[in-house]
Amino acid sequence: MGQKTVRFSDLSGQLIMQDEAFARIVVHDHPELGEGPVELEALADEAKAIEHEALRIAIVDLYLPGDDEPRRVAIEADEFDKLSTERPMSELLVAAPPARRAARAATNGSARDRTDYTTIQHAGKPHKGKTTEAEKRLVLDHFDEINERLAAEGLRTISLSDPEQVERYGLERLVEERAAGVGGPP
């Protein structure tokens, strides 16, 4: 027995009969959009209509005096182009230097400002990056101290009963020692 997938357009509810008529639409920005991009399914003609109606826009960050954060705005490209009165915007954009990383770093943190998880002050803190051997060693050697710091900072502690955390920090030996009654509290 086989299965057949039936697709409907998220936009119109129409049945999408053929693969050639299927289009994916990824919405990156919308006033009603939540956390991140979402994907819609539609008929190819519906997607082409979106492209046909699309505006040419420029997205710019404005760093204004007194503001801590830049303001990101979208403006029609033709209107933005009119702001350049001395020479055409196309020439201005080609001649302009690349945006400084420091400007973005002010909001996102620069490489120099990144947290160093290979120090006792930060080892064991939750992060998405790779757990280095140096961080693993610190967590293993200072397990109880690091967990006390994490708890005091209101962060999740490292659990020896969580297999993912045990693997992430290389704590297999510590689990065995604690199970055998060696090396501190369980």
Record the pTM: 0.42
What angle separates helix 143-152 from helix 133-141, to the nearest 10 degrees?
90
- Is residue 63 included in any domain, yes or no? yes
DSSP-derived secondary structure letter, 117 = T
- Is residue 17 included in any domain, yes or no? yes
> Does residue 70 sit in the same domain as residue 119?
no
- Is residue 101 included in any domain, yes or no? yes
Two tokens, residue 122: 């930060």
> Does residue 147 sit in the same domain as residue 168?
yes
Task: Compute how many other C-beta atoms are within 10 angstroms of the C-beta atom of residue 46.
Answer: 19
Do the Cβ atoms of 135 and 120 come closer than 8 Å?
Answer: no
Tens of each residue's pLDDT in the chain, 186 residues: 788 778 888 899 999 887 778 898 988 888 888 878 889 999 999 999 998 888 889 989 898 888 888 888 889 999 999 999 999 999 999 988 888 764 444 444 445 457 888 888 889 998 887 889 989 999 999 999 999 998 888 889 999 998 989 999 999 999 998 888 765 555
Residues 6+ apart with CB under 8 A from 65: none
Do the Cβ atoms of 42 and 9 come closer than 8 Å?
Answer: yes
135/126 Cα distance (integer angstroms): 12
Residues 6+ apart with CB under 8 A from 40: 10, 11, 24, 25, 26, 27
pLDDT at 113: 54
> Does residue 67 sit in the same domain as residue 104?
yes
Among candidate residues 116, 118, 123, the one with its CA nearest the CA of residue 146: 123
When divided into structural domains, the chain yields a total of 3
> Does residue 186 sit in the same domain as residue 121?
yes
- As to burial, measured by CB atoms within 10 angstroms (0-12 exposed, 13-18 middle, 19+ buried), residue 14 is middle
175/167 Cα distance (integer angstroms): 11
Residues 6+ apart with CB under 8 A from 38: 26, 27
Owning domain of residue 152? 115-186
Task: Give the containing element (helix H, strand E) for 138.
Answer: helix 133-141
- Is residue 98 included in any domain, yes or no? yes
pLDDT at 83: 94
Do the Cβ atoms of 127 and 146 come closer than 8 Å?
Answer: no
